Amino acid sequence: MVKNSFISIISQEEKEENSGSVEFQLFHFTSKIRRLTSHLELHKRDFLSQRSLRRILGKRQRLLTYLSKTNKVRYKKLMDQLDIWKKKTR
Asked if residue 12 has pLDDT above 90, the reply is no
Mean pLDDT to the nearest integer, 20-34: 93
Instruction: Supply the mean pLDDT for the chain.
Output: 84
The kind and range of the H/E element at 21 are: none
Go through 18-36 and write b for each residue having 16 or more CB atoms within 10 A of its CB, e for each that does not: eeeebbbbbbbbbbbbbbb
Sorted by where each starts, the structural domains of the chain and their CATH numbers stand as 22-80 (1.10.287.10)
- pLDDT value of residue 2: 47
Q: What percent of the chain is predicted at pLDDT more than 90?
A: 66
The kind and range of the H/E element at 84 are: none
HSE value, Cβ hemisphere, 13 Å, CA-based, for 57 = 11
- pLDDT value of residue 1: 44
Q: Are the C-beta atoms of 55 and 61 separated by less than 8 Å?
A: no
**pTM, rounded to two decimals:** 0.76
